[in-house]
Structures are given as structure tokens and as C-alpha cells.
Amino acid sequence: MCRWLAYSGSSIMLEELLYKPAHSLIDQSLHARMGVETTNGDGFGVGWYPEDRHGLRGVVEPAVFRDTGPAWSDRNLHELAHCVRSPLFFAHIRASTGTAVQQTNCHPFRYGHWLWMHNGTIHGFTELKRDLALAVDPSLYPSIEGSTDSEMMFHLALTLGLREDVPGAVARMIGLVEATAERHGVPDSVQMTLAVSEGERLWAFRYSTEHHSRSLFFSGDVHSLRALHPENVALRQASDDTRVIVSEPIGNLPDAWNEVPESTYGVVEEGNDSMHALVPQRA
């Protein structure tokens, strides 16, 4: 499995979350505590929207940097994180579930101004892959560059209306995968936590067919945390709408984190955060 982090809020340097906190995401690439594996060294990636996210035609495309080596020893990632500032970014460290360790299999995945990253698996993916690939819109299929179940899930969600209705498309994608797995006699097919953004809002999902999903946490209300920890410089600098979503907590403030409930998705957007039940939808 993998570990990931998604950030939305006041513009910060990537290193503030990737490297500086206790048990940072980079530390988790060697010493994960809640994942299936302790080490996540099968590649990494970051995707970020620039400080000025809006161009003449709306939100500009995010930048993506991915590589196949372990995150803990990559000097280029360290340099980039020290120099890049962003108000919305994704970071992912990979532990392969069987597909090749190659750049096109590293997260996050990008399509236009959309970013997508995933922790988990489609069980029996090799058996289901052909049927799932045939369900992808033919106009989208050429955009699949790698061989992971994660990228297939992304393109299925795009096919099923992600650009118009993110929660609905993800629910329909889950329903499609589960129905396909049932036809092939594959149990407990979906295991996922995933993050999605189009540059304005951030969605995070936690779900598994067996209702025993991988861990996922979201940061608490910044205003309340400032009151609890007035000595914390990072909290004083963060805007009230800052939110961080992580596979496992970072930093040394245990009261800063709340677990995302089972079969739930949340959305972070300006002036409003909300959480909802996630129910698969069948065609």
C-alpha cells in the first residue's frame, strides 16, 4: 500500500509538510506506522497548483513531479520542496501492490486540471483489467499511460462524470468495479482512500468493499487548535480554512487529527467543509 497527503489552505512551501514535521510524509516513506508495509520506497510524486491558480481559461493545469526511487533519498524532491510554494498540493509515496515500478505508475495522476491519487487496491485486478478497460470512454483511453489499478479507477471515474459530479462519479466507479468483480467471483474487490481536486476544491474518500478500509485522517479546525497550542508557530501562520488530509498523522499534536469514518467522503472548499456517506451506485 501507500501513504499520501493532500493540503488546501494558505500558500506554503511544500517542505513545511513533506519534510519538517515529526513523522512527516518523507519519514513515513521509511517508517510508516499504520500502513500494510513499513517502507514505501517504490516511487513518489507531488502535484501542485501554482499560487495564482487562475488563468484566462479558468484554473491552470497543476504541475507534477514523479520518480521511481525512494522519496527519502531523492535530492531533487528535497530541492523542489524547498522552493515551491502552493495553496493546494498532493504528495504520495508508493508501495507497489504488484504493478511495475515505473514513472507512469507513480501518483498523483493528472488529466487536464484534475489531480487524483490513491492508496489501496482492486483485488483481482489482473482478472478484471480487460473488462474495466473496455468500460473506459474511448476518447479517454489514450490518456492511460501506466498499468496501475489506481489510474484505471481515475479514468473510469472520468468516464462516469467526474468533471460534473465528483462524489457521484466515484460512487459509480466503485459500483462498476464491484459488479465486475462479482461476475468474476472476486470478493472484497475495492480497497481505497483517494484524493481528487480540480484546483478549487479537494475531495477525500475512504471506502472498502469489506468495510475495513485503510486509515485516513483530516486536520481539525485551525482556530480551535491555535487556542489549544498558542506556542505553535505553524498554526499561527495558517489561515482559518487550512486543511490537511493524511494517510496517517504527521506532527506532534495528536489532538489535531480526526479519523475519517468508514464509507465516507469529505469536501474542502472555500467557506465550507462537509462530510457525507459514500454509497456505491450500480448502473
State residue 235's pLDDT score. Answer: 66
Stated pTM of the model: 0.94
135 pLDDT more than 90: yes
35-39, 97-101, 110-114, 166-170: least confidently modelled range: 35-39
Which of the following is catalytic: 1, 2, 174, 246? 2
Neighbours of 119 (CB within 10 A): 29
Any idea what the Cα angle at residue 236 is, between residues 235 and 240, rounded to 5°?
Answer: 75
Taking only the tens place, the pLDDT of each residue in 60-95 is 899 999 999 999 999 999 999 999 999 999 999 999
From CA 198, how far away is CA 276, in angstroms rounded?
19
Taking only the tens place, the pLDDT of each residue in 110-131 is 999 999 999 999 999 999 999 9
Computed over every residue of the chain, the mean pLDDT equals 93
CA dihedral (249, 82, 76, 118) in degrees, to 10, reads 30
Over residues 53-58, the mean pLDDT reads 74
4 pLDDT more than 90: yes
State residue 228's pLDDT score. Answer: 65
83 is annotated as an active-site residue: no
Over residues 8-34, the mean pLDDT reads 93
Taking only the tens place, the pLDDT of each residue in 239-265 is 778 999 999 999 888 888 999 999 999
**Residues 278, 170 contacting (CB under 8 angstroms):** yes
- Res. 213 pLDDT band, cuts 50 70 90: very high
